[in-house]
Amino acid sequence: MNNPAHVTVATVIERDGRFLFVEERVEGRSVLNQPAGHWDDGETLLQAALRETLEETAWEVKLEALVGIYEFRPAELDYGFLRFAFSAKPVRELRDRPLDKGIERAVWLTRDELVAAADRHRSPMVLRCVDDWRSGRRLPLETLAHLTPA
């Protein structure tokens, strides 16, 4: 039986009323997304969120809470996505660090600017994560239990 979902992580990072996003090239189209990516073998979901944020934005962040878990299955794909979205605070930008392949730039946007660019959202999860964060939705990081073999 195939797993019908790719497990991904994302971070919602706010600073002075703006949120950190990436502009990335997907199938030749420039789209907006949170710093996000796949959960790799051998790492925890928390480690994946920190790694993906650094690779895609050159920002080191401190994870604070779990904002939500989101399921999305695009009509054009035969699989879906299970996204774990975390709230994070920016710590420092590593300005000389190159960004992941396909990432054009990291950009800080207000919610209104994000809404105005709705046709460029990579998925419906982009705005939903911001709105859930803004509503105060937070679960302790300890909600996720990373278990290892005895």
pLDDT tens, 64-81? 999 999 999 998 888 999
Per-residue pLDDT, 136: 98
| pTM for the model | 0.94
Q: What are the C-alpha distances in Å from 126 to residues 11, 92, 129, 145, 149?
A: 10, 23, 6, 25, 35
Given a cut of 70, whether residue 1 has pLDDT beyond it is no
Query: Where along the chain do its domains lie?
Result: 5-140
Given a cut of 50, whether residue 101 has pLDDT beyond it is yes
Q: Which residue spans within 16-142 are E strands per DSSP?
A: 18-26, 29-33, 36-38, 59-72, 80-93, 103-109
Given a cut of 70, whether residue 2 has pLDDT beyond it is no
Give mean pLDDT, residues 84-91: 98
For the domain 5-140, what is the CATH code?
3.90.79.10
**What is the tens place of the pLDDT at every residue in 21-59?**
999 998 889 999 999 999 999 999 999 999 999 999 999
- For residue 2, report the phi and psi dihedrals to the nearest 5 degrees: -80, 145
DSSP label at residue 139: B
Given a cut of 60, whether residue 88 has pLDDT beyond it is yes
